Amino acid sequence: MPLIRQIWESKLLTNNGPLVQDFERALGQHLSSEHVSVVNNATNGLMIAQRSLGFQGEVITTPFSFIATAHSIEWLGLKPVFVDIDKNYGNIDPKKVKKAINDKTGGILASHNFGFPADVEELSEIARNYNLPLVFDGAPAIGVKHKGKSITSYGDACILSFHATKIFTTLEGGAIISKTKETKDKIDQIRNFNIRNEEEIGGPGINGKMNEIQAAIGLTGIKNIENTIQLRKKRYQIYTDCLSELKSLVIPALKNDWKYNYSYYPIFFSQGNKMRETIFKDLKKKNIHCRKYWYPLISDHTCYSNESYDIPNAQKLSDSVLALPMGNDVCEKLIEFISKIIRKALNE
């Protein structure tokens, strides 16, 4: 417990302490980024990034994501505008983004759904051509690379989550990876109540700081990220070996220019919602809890359903998706057992 002892001896528990600074440097080295700002959770990270980059008015985003993606927009007093996604990975469709841009558009908030890289080149080109800030919600995407580069290097900023459900955790927490030092400086100020100095406030800010104990947990765990990814890769491959021949299932194919972190194992049922619900219940009866990521769609929740959207791909994926267990307690026998239940229900 040397890091915890160091905290108590320093008597500095928060407010950009030495372990937070060490953690930011360690993350920066891991991600090949000079501009890392750790925060107390990824939702605050999303809000701080949008505020720092001048998001305003309408923000084009995805309906197929965790609810925090849209909440971060709404909480800032902005309007989320939902557009459709691709058919294979559930990432926002750049063509739909471009079509939705108008004179009220003040930003684009895309996601790397399931940690699968979004179409970063085309989205970046659209943002550049229309002079719009672009943020990626990369909550589960630590360790993911696209064409040899960390997925966090795309966009004006990318947010990671270190929640307890992620492959790398500080229990709660997250990080904002910025493209420029100027953006990082704004982020660092806003996450500390927007305090410029002891006598001057730069505008509305928030308490988004990570504390020293979270940073200590992060420093301890960051050395094991690649080992964790390799263990999850083995589970991912066992699932694929067991399920890939089933005709009623669609398993997203990993692209050759990706390095995936195996955060999730999502499958999609070609028979849709009815079969998904049957298998979900069959597995639950055996005390195997899967997740319907992302059902319902964000745009179907009451607080966001005041407008209708043309999002058939998102609706289809939402009605058919099931994310299978991938945690450390998932062994080969359990994967085979889960696969047997699925095969039986599909009658294949």
Task: Give the pLDDT of the chain (348 residues) as one tens digit per residue.
Answer: 576 677 766 667 788 999 999 999 999 999 999 999 999 999 999 999 999 999 999 999 999 999 999 999 999 999 999 999 999 999 999 999 999 999 999 999 999 999 999 999 999 999 999 999 999 999 999 999 999 999 999 999 999 999 999 999 999 999 999 999 999 999 999 999 999 988 899 999 999 999 999 999 999 999 999 999 999 999 999 999 999 999 999 999 999 999 999 999 999 999 889 999 999 999 999 999 999 999 999 999 999 999 999 999 999 999 999 999 999 999 999 999 999 999 999 998
Helix (H) or strand (E) holding 346, with range, is helix 332-346
To which residue do tokens 């696209």 refer? 146
Q: What is the pLDDT of residue 119?
A: 98
Q: CB-based contacts of 165: which residues, under 8 Å, 6+ apart?
A: none
| Backbone phi, psi, residue 329, to 5° | -90, 5
Q: What is the pLDDT of residue 11?
A: 67
Helix (H) or strand (E) holding 71, with range, is helix 68-75
To which residue do tokens 């005390």 refer? 287
Q: What is the pLDDT of residue 211?
A: 95
Show the tokens assigned to 253: 């194919």
Q: What is the pLDDT of residue 281?
A: 97
- C-alpha angle 3/5/9, rounded to 5°? 120
Q: What is the pLDDT of residue 213?
A: 93
Helix (H) or strand (E) holding 190, with range, is helix 181-190
Show the tokens assigned to 307: 């407008």
To which residue do tokens 């030092």 refer? 181
Q: What is the pLDDT of residue 348?
A: 87
Q: What is the pLDDT of residue 251?
A: 97
Q: What is the pLDDT of residue 30?
A: 97
* Entry pTM: 0.96
To which residue do tokens 């980024």 refer? 33
